[in-house]
Amino acid sequence: MGRFLASNVIKGERAFKAATMSALALLTLFFTGIVVSMVTYTDWDTLFSTLMSQEILFAIRLSLITATISTILSISVAIPVAYAISQIEFPGKDIVDILGHGLVEAVCGGIPIILPYQSDMVKRIALFPRDIYVSTSKPPGPAVNRFKGIVTEIKPFSSLMRLKVTVGENNLLAELPKDIFEDMRIKIGQEIFLILFLITQPPSYELI
């Protein structure tokens, strides 16, 4: 069954984004108040004399020495371990590889697509309808794997409605349950947004 983003989900995301921004604003105001109160009520002569005391200087010197030794030890251990993980097969390596993946951009027919990086070159990408959400309004958040297109064809497909959407020079297929399709009132020639969800198992792309 094709994946979708109905209008109520979009509204929920907008409400969540508004709540998050409000919480961030309050948190910023809280820390700003702390800084202002420190600047206002701090006795600077006492502060500088305290910083220059032998106890504080010893604590700073000890912190610097400890941090330097910890960094050297971490590097000396992390590099051999990383090399061993990349070269040696062992039980559970697949889980470690999944946790260690980054992201890579692959251009597919002029469309930039962000994929999980698996240390191999991406050979081809297959965008299945199950990997595509549909929205009639611009989704919130960063424009990663989100594209604007025009509906050029609508036809029934089993218990679903299949949409052909033109994005640039590419035609992508998306599927919606019929009841969701009717609620969204999508028509041919309408501008909609497609959201790709490609972090799946098995992946919908082939590696060299």
Adjacent-strand bridge partners of 113 = 106
Task: Please report, to the nearest 10 degrees, the dihedral formed by the alpha carbons of residues 197, 173, 166, 133 taken in order.
Answer: -30
Query: Taking the model in full, what pTM does it have?
Result: 0.48
Q: Give residues with Cβ within 8 angstroms of 127, minimum separation 6.
A: 108, 172, 173, 196, 204
Residue type, 38: M
**Mean local confidence (pLDDT), 67-77:** 93
Residue type, 195: I
Asked whether residue 43 carries a pLDDT value surpassing 70, the answer given is yes
Of 9-18, 76-85, 107-116, 161-170, the least confident: 9-18
Asked whether residue 3 carries a pLDDT value surpassing 50, the answer given is no
CB 198 within 8 A of CB 132: no
Q: Nearest CA to 113 among 146, 150, 151, 149?
A: 146
Q: Considering the chain, what percentage of its residues have pLDDT values greater than 90?
A: 25
Measured CA angle at 48 (ends 47, 50), to 5 deg: 65
Selected from 2.60.120.10, 2.40.50.100, 3.40.50.1220, 3.40.50.1820, the CATH number assigned to the domain covering 7-11+101-207 reads 2.40.50.100
* Distance in angstroms (rounded) separating the CA atoms of residues 79 and 77: 6
157's tokens: 């497909």
* Residue 6, pLDDT score: 43
Residue type, 89: E
Helices (H), 100-155: none
Q: Which residue has the higher pLDDT, 99 or 80?
A: 80
Asked whether residue 93 carries a pLDDT value surpassing 70, the answer given is no
* Residue 121, pLDDT score: 59
- For the chain, the structural domain boundaries read 7-11+101-207, 43-97
Asked whether residue 120 carries a pLDDT value surpassing 50, the answer given is yes
* Residue 67, pLDDT score: 94
The string of pLDDT tens digits covering residues 126-168 is 778 877 889 888 887 777 888 899 999 999 988 899 999 998 8
* Distance in angstroms (rounded) separating the CA atoms of residues 14 and 132: 20
